[in-house]
Structure 1
């Protein structure tokens, strides 16, 4: 034992204490985890009031690690609390452990009477011990005045005769997932699991869960990759957008965005924040893909994977008449309310229904008849989607509510008894659980995540938007069953609002085919490339219209921009070197800015790409922005003296200038300028006159391009900060003209100011740009000069 006052402390021999196993069982709750090892350690202390600030026990072993008790007899000075005792369990060999170590432990810390161990004070905890948190316990374990005097119902104090026993009862637990009790601070999903998550756009958790489920059905992913998309327009192209999401999930080290996919559905940014029905989304997605798969190697792939057949039989009771109808289905909706298990729900689904009263069956030639209706499966698909009916209309509340009844389902299920006698039984109808889509919350909203077992040999994983973590079998079931026992009765709309709403099963005999790993040739090569469009001062000067260029690809208007086809994994440094070489500038004299779609329907520079991140790849650049479509950049040419401005623009703002010439009825870009944010708008007049070569003091009027249809006059006496000007904003200027000139222009049918001319440009019909767009494709990645080039 180590102490700051060794003479005042001694270890008491033959310490009486309660039976270790019984005490641990009483005070350490069973959390359902496997245990590596348990240990009990007792430290006897005398002369408590003479102890100094800190007492450290000798070390003991548990779970292959060394531990010790850390005691502050009069409170931890780092957590000010007077008149208390602080006790902690500490990893004694933390500094000697390997990088990234962790130990999951439960423990109870105890102070007991040295003569009567039935008098004690105890606190218990569980903790994931790591290098940054290798000491854990209680800063306010107990009040000293309470420990030194008998408490109600006791005839002796815990600390008696200035002596006490400090004990730790601990269990080192198994951590099969490696993330038990993880704080997930600085957590790297790819490093920990090999998988990455999907970013949430607001209310897209349901979509992310379904996409992860479909992605891990390898046969489906392969079929999606077989849709030809390399020469197709990306606007509204669901197939290409899904391919890109799947490719990113397959190759990226960071969470993947879905903006391009939602836009391909025609959703606005606002609609991405609205919760959609998962079945409708899945049906829409599959319908769009099926139409694109026709005539390709993937034709009928969706039907082969997800479609089964159901037989409906109706038999009249009083007359000799019946009917049989066979229909296809993509998923099965099963009742949950009042039903305890998946088997019971299947029996409910195929139960005979009587058609009588107002629901009688119209038999041809016999009119309305009492009848029996029976449903049975003719065939089931390899990948079976089961939707659990978790919503119902509540008459009392006058709206939909969520059903949170506990509903259990197995990892394996045999559905043979639910198939028609004529069904093919050459192979068993056994299914293995592959995915569980879970909702937490009520009918009005909540969170979505998915449990997925990627293959036979891999642990279950929880895909919670941008985070992926391994989980145990027990977590999969207990976090998905739902329901909370209340006096023995399962209740709805309680704390058990986390429950499964869709189950994905794969037929056991088809697992090897459905989950067969994809090979390199299964991934379309063009998904490994990124198309980069670069706006330059030259292209800006030739552009007559709103923004830096016309970014509506449907008009073919981007074809005039320098284009690069770049390997996604290429480092930014290599790419920048090629851009500099292509345009004929030293690398030190160029900077690249990412262009983004703003909320006001403009496309403007968002941020300059950092120069000092050697690991940054081209595919990671879009992660700085909410856009994930082909990359658009602005090339800034920097005089050497201005390089600092690019790297530190906190005090300056970068604005683009356009000249409206009323005489020529023209609008052209004249470049970019950095100007102090605190300067006035009028200060820009002198800069413009110098750049245009005009007489100093030439009177100008300045306007800001706010959004299409909104060109606003700028107050000269306001600062750029007050004018809310930010990097990438565009300011249009014109030389002030007389009233007579305004009248003459109007009489000629011409426009006398920028707002009028912008409105004309906005309403004109744009002919598609016929100039050829032929970027040089990547060559040998080891031949630097050939990997990417401009057109």
Structure 2
């Protein structure tokens, strides 16, 4: 039987909702069951629930006025098993199919019904009469497509959204029935769906189904009805599992990757990206001369361009790094309004002086007038301000219109609150309010979903229902004299949504990229098409709506929807074409396209390289050119990370199946040597950690893979070779090689047995030969000793140098500050070559014209030079960002030092570079995780560079330290003088406790608090005590006063675990005449143990009511207005678990201070902490 969609709408669902038998649970997949196309089956949990369910015989007590449901009543069954769908899609077709089942136990294990059609597709019932590996009858709905059948194979892009239900009933007693319902997106991959545990087998004919002893399937006979509803999938993602979902292919747009908790950033960036005029303005920022990933404008350009061109989701890590965010910031959710404002400010700065300089104010900035207008006289005071967004109250307002009315409501100032209208009019009744002068083209409305709850004394999220229209007119909220020549009608462009509660949640956005297009949901890396119901109704908040307005019988506390809009973006209708103007390739900076295309090409090449990696092998070849360029230990640099540096082995990536001859030909071409003269030696690692030639490869026709497998010492993925060049050739140009044990594959003439030695020349005159055994083991050789007696073998290195007698300093060499170090001589292009180790005997040159330096200025022997090479280290020095006067004027630089250098030697080198007295330089270690300064380096005579950069892990403070970086601080005094000082951090209270300034003070170690005060006056440029008034100093610990410090108190008694606070003693504390006492006051939140802020000393007056004490406290603290009004005052005793006694206006505080250690507590929230998630202040570099 076929039903139309119109017929469905006439059903009244509420007639049956209260009288329905319990429906079976929806099934989920379990791989243990035999399922032809990953059919939906029950979980173990659902199985346990079914087994534990009480068997009540399925008896239902029928009241006289109740309607009895029958399995053969198609109208009622259709209403029962096809309830309204939450997404409310359009119904295309509904079909009912009845299948009569007989001889149940004789049916095959799998039994299929005849095909029926719905929605233009074939369908059939798949039944497991004896269960699909369970003691239940299993029933599924599957499409009827099949290869070789009349209907043919499954279409390639087959996708169909179906709601369906099964009803199994007794044809003789139709009131005995059972049913179940489900919905599913049928695809080529998921062609069946249903219920593995539809009905228990024993209940079919073994157990009576009702009180009249009727069975569900008597005589193994029953009727199975399938109700199938085909619905329209407008968005393309209804009931989608999003496996292999391609946002670009389905929508034409891509999302942004979530780094951890950056979904709030992603939603804002998508909104700004689809404000096309903003995107075009960002492209107009000149960045061609500043292509740095620390430039936020450049990284934002890159991000926008990738959103335009990428086929997959784009990462935001480059942008967040340019903001200066560290890993911890990535996992902190920040306020979107604050982020939007800071990002706008940053881009506006970057756009100054460009074509886009006025774009952002025109797009996002409007004007609002704050006014006070007298009612009875002609006097008005007003102030005109720019706004970039509008914050609207949600609490107490039902929709956007009521929020705007609330925003511009007029306050009457009368009675005690009259307005002072100058000397002429004095106090007057007045109207106070705000009114808008202009609205921008793009209107950002921030809905205040997060507000402080006074009763709970905490921030709370407001989930109240709040409606906003697709179109609204903003002209009623403009001033009467505003320019209204053009309409201020706004079209909804974006809805930014927060789902969750205050402390945890998720952000996503609904945005309409085109004027007449669809809204799309941008949920991090996934983009889907959205309906207007999803955009509007689903984000109003409030209680969950029930299908067709149904209200549950039992009403407890209403369940509020957690997902609701917190930011709205509207575009002025008559400006929409200018805002959503097309952005083409011509609008993107050319240098940006070139850069990103090149990066894409490199990524593709690397991807291809990884895919073909198994076909290639890396070969590193040492040539004569390598030996000449290398200045260091061993024969060459064979470190994987340094193959491009001078003196490193040549790098070849070659097919494993290539012959050795192919490699020799390539090496000969690169070195301009006849390949016939080249022979390859295999390099092997020795026990002393050196790599030397071991044996030549005699056969040049074998493949690289064969040579590698047979001769390589370590199979680490790299083949290391030395290319020997023959000195002698025959008449045909073929090389003549010395004999070598092993197979001979050619008939070339051979010379007598020889060994390969490498000579390194250190050009200081010498009478000794030194043999390099390993970089840290240099042994002298006897000149008359034979090579065999010296136990030399192939690949050994011999070092020699000239005599150092009667050496004079070369006048042509520049000496900086009369100090020459190996690093100075090694790193300058014009340095004298006297310290260079030459590698080939053919390059030996006595170079007598190179006059030598004195021993204290340079290294005069090869052994010392090898020691230098073994201990040299590149160290990066950065200015301390907080302790230097002008850190932005200081540079970051790198010096090559020796691990054996002392603290003073390192300071000398840095001082020479900075042209600063080295005794005025202090170093700080660098944190490996954050890159920020860690601890000051203590200067000792035994401290070395290695000890500073690689301290022993004997204490926690030495952990997480970079081994190649230090910060430097330029001091005003020398380190020796600094050692006589004590460094103190002093917090100066200049305006009660509302303003705190922080200063680093140096005081002599034998000094007193009086010296500290004088140093503070000088450092903070304060008036001295004689002019400005006396200053008191006290210690605080855990936000409570620990000790008052007298002026003669020694500063060495101030420990590191306390804070030092200083303030001017208030005049009223000096000149008081009323009797009273002193009390320590501190701030806390809810509980005295949760102290915060800066404590202070307060003077009480005998007999004073607290209502008057409050006024003095307001003056003493410097806190004003609502901030002070919300403070609750209490007496707190010293006990650990004592409860505060809160004070009322009529009490006298002196009467409740029973002990000298009792304190006055100020209970109010800690405003210094972030509102949510413990996040720090939002910043953009």
TM-score (norm 1): 0.68
Which residue does the alignment assign to 1:386?
Answer: 445
State the Cα distance separating 1:161 from its structure 2 match.
2.9
CA separation of 1:211/1:396 partners in 2, compared to 1, >3 Å: closer, same or farther?
A: same
Of residues 583, 595, 605 in structure 2, which corresponds to 1:530? 595
Q: Distance in 2 between matches of 1:333 and 1:674?
A: 72
Q: Distance in 2 between matches of 1:388 and 1:268?
A: 29
Question: In the TM superposition, what are the counterparts of 1:278-357 in structure 2 within 5 Å?
Answer: 278-317=336-375, 319-356=377-414
Task: Report the equivalent of 2:185.
Answer: 128
Aligned pairs for 1:727-738 within 5 A: none
Change (3 A) 1:500 1:241: same
1:463 to 522, 525, 539: 522
The CA distance in 2 between the partners of 1:126 and 1:70, in whole Å, is 16
SS at match of 1:67: strand
Q: Indicate the SS of the match to 1:566.
A: helix
**Which residue of 16, 25, 29 maps to 2:83?**
29
Aligned to 1:572: 604
User: Aligned equivalents of 2:608 and 2:375: distance in 1?
Assistant: 80
1:109 is aligned, of 162, 166, 175, to: 166
Residue 392 of structure 2 aligns to a residue whose secondary structure is: strand
Q: Tell me what 2:1016 maps to.
A: none
What SS is found at the alignment partner of 1:270?
helix
Residues 1:118 and 2:164 are matched in the alignment: no
Q: CA 1:234 to 1:50, structure 2 compared with 1: closer, same or farther past 3 Å?
A: same
Partners of 2:130 and 2:657 in 1: CA distance: 60
- 1:170-189 aligned at under 5 Å gives the runs 170-189=228-247
State the distance in 2 between where 1:761 and 1:221 align: 41
Equivalent-residue separation in structure 1 for 2:440 and 2:191 (angstroms): 51
Look up the match of 1:8. none
Alpha-carbon contact 2:899-2:944 (below 8 Å) kept: no
SS in structure 1 of the partner of residue 294 of structure 2: coil
SS at match of 1:88: strand
- Residue 41 of structure 1 corresponds to which residue in structure 2? 97
**Equivalent residues of 2:543, 2:560 under 8 A apart:** yes
Cα gap change, 1:414 to 1:527, in 2 (>3 Å): same
Secondary structure, aligned partner of 1:260: helix
- In the alignment, which residue of structure 1 is the partner of 2:433? 374
Looking at structure 2, the residues matched to 605 and 139 of structure 1 have their Cα atoms a distance apart, in angstroms, of: 58
Which residue of 1 is the match for residue 331 of structure 2? 273
Q: RMSD between aligned alpha carbons?
A: 4.1
Give the 3 Å change call, closer, same or farther, for CA 70–576 of structure 1 in structure 2: closer
1:485 Cα deviation (Å)? 5.3
Query: Per-residue displacement from partner, 1:669-713 (whole Å, max 9, x unpaired)?
Result: xxxx99789xxxxxxxxxxxx99997667768xxxxxxxxxxxxx
Report the equivalent of 2:144: 92
- SS of 1:373's equivalent in the other structure is strand
Superposed CA offset, 1:25-83 (max 9, x none):
2321211111111100000111223223121000001001000011111111xxx312x
2:211 and 2:541 mapped to 1: Cα distance? Answer: 42
List alignment gaps of at least 5 residues for structure 2.
1-69, 148-152, 546-550, 610-614, 621-638, 642-648, 659-684, 691-711, 717-756, 761-770, 778-866, 873-897, 907-941, 951-962, 969-1181
In the TM superposition, 1:510-525 aligns within 5 A as 510-525=575-590
Q: Secondary structure, in 3 states, of the residue corresponding to 1:475?
A: helix
Q: Secondary structure at the match of 1:133?
A: coil
Q: 1:81 to 1:747 in 2, by over 3 A?
A: closer
Query: CA, structure 1 residues 342+152, in 2 after alignment: closer, same or farther (shift >3 Å)?
Result: farther
Structure 2: distance between partners of 1:307 and 1:364? 33
The answer to whether the 8 Å contact 1:415/1:429 transfers is: yes
User: 1:454: which partner in 2?
Assistant: 513
Distance 1:344 1:127 in 2: 42
Aligned: 1:435 with 2:489: no
2:627 maps to what in 1? none
Provide the C-alpha distance between the structure 1 equivalents of 2:311 and 2:493, rounded to a whole number of angstroms.
24
Residues 557-568 of structure 1: pairs in structure 2 closer than 5 A: 566=598, 568=600
Decide which of 477, 482, 493 is 2:541's aligned counterpart: 482
Deviation at 1:471, TM superposition (A): 1.5
Matched, 1:224 2:282: yes
Could you tell me which residue of structure 2 aligns to residue 234 of structure 1? 292
TM-score between the two structures when normalised by the length of structure 2: 0.46
> C-alpha separation between the residues in 2 aligned to 1:746 and 1:340?
73
Residues 735 and 345 of structure 1, relative CA distance in 2, 3 Å threshold: closer
Distance in 1, Cα, partners of 2:121 & 2:967: 76
Residues 528 and 568, structure 1, Cα contact 8 Å, conserved in 2: no
TM-aligned CA distance change 1:262 to 1:698, over 3 Å: closer
User: Which of 554, 557, 565 is the equivalent residue of 1:500?
Assistant: 565
- Following superposition, the deviation at residue 456 of structure 1 comes to 2.5
1:324 counterpart SS class: strand
Given that residues 390 and 404 in structure 1 are in contact (C-alpha distance below 8 angstroms), is that contact kept between their aligned partners in structure 2? yes
Query: CA offset at residue 420 of structure 1?
Result: 2.3
**1:161 match: secondary structure:** helix
5 Å-filtered alignment, 1:672-683, equals none
Following TM superposition, by how much is the alpha carbon of 1:521 offset from its aligned partner in structure 2, in angstroms? 1.1
2-structure distance, mates of 1:276, 1:62: 50
Whole-angstrom CA distance in 1 between matches of 2:407 and 2:498: 23
Q: Is the 8 A contact 2:902 2:944 kept in 1?
A: no
Aligned match of 2:482: 423
CA distance in 2 between counterparts of 1:398 and 1:635 reads 70
User: Are positions 1:142 and 2:199 aligned together?
Assistant: yes
Is the 8 Å Cα contact of residues 483 and 491 (structure 1) preserved in structure 2?
no
Q: Deviations over 1:67-116 (max 9, x none)?
A: 0011111111xxx312x111000011166233232110101111011123
Q: Which deviations, in whole Å up to 9, do the C-alpha atoms of 1:273-318 show, x marking residues without a partner?
A: 2121111111111111111111111111001111112223322345
Q: Structure 1 CA distance, aligned partners of 2:227 and 2:275?
A: 46
Counterpart position of 1:624:
none
What's the CA shift string for 1:153-212, capped at 9, x where partnerless? 565222123211011101011001111111112211111111111111222111110000
Q: Is the 8 A contact 1:484 1:490 kept in 2?
A: no
* Residues in 2 aligned to 1:111 and 1:180: alpha-carbon distance in whole angstroms: 28
Shift in Å, 1:326:
2.4
Contact 2:900 / 2:946 at 8 angstroms: preserved in 1?
Answer: no
Shift of 1:134: 0.6
Aligned length: 595
Q: d(CA) in 2 for partners of 1:334 and 1:121?
A: 53
User: Residue in 1 aligned with 2:125?
Assistant: 69
Seen in structure 2, the aligned counterparts of structure 1 residues 379 and 736 have a Cα distance that, compared at 3 Å, is closer
Q: Aligned partners of 1:521, 1:388: CA distance in 2, in Å? A: 37
Partner-residue secondary structure (3-state), 1:529? helix
In the other structure, the counterpart of 1:81 is 134
Q: 1:153/1:317 Cα in 2 relative to 1: closer, same or farther (>3 Å)?
A: farther
* Aligned residue number for residue 465 of structure 2: 406
* In 1: Cα distance, 2:304 partner to 2:556 partner: 40
Q: 2:316 aligns with which of 258, 265, 273?
A: 258
TM-superposition CA deviations, 1:310-361 (whole Å, max 9, x none): 2233223455532233222111111111222112222222222233567554
8 Å Cα contact 2:903/2:943 also seen in 1: no
**Distance (Å, rounded) in 2 between the aligned partners of 1:204 and 1:407:** 26
Instruction: Say whether 1:55 aligns with 2:108.
Output: no
Q: 1:240-286: CA deviations, max 9, x gaps?
A: 11101101111111211111111222111221221211111111111
How much does 1:416 deviate?
2.3
> Partners in 1 of 2:581 and 2:170 — Cα distance?
64
- How far residue 221 of structure 1 moved from its aligned partner, in angstroms, is 0.5
Single out whichever of 208-217 and 139-148 deviates more from structure 2. Answer: 139-148
* Higher gyration radius (CA): 2
| Cα distance change, pair 744–193 in 1 and its aligned pair in 2 (3 A) | closer
Q: Deviations over 1:369-405 (max 9, x none)?
A: 4432233222111111010010111233321010011
Residue 138 to residue 311, structure 1, CA distance change in 2 (3 Å): same
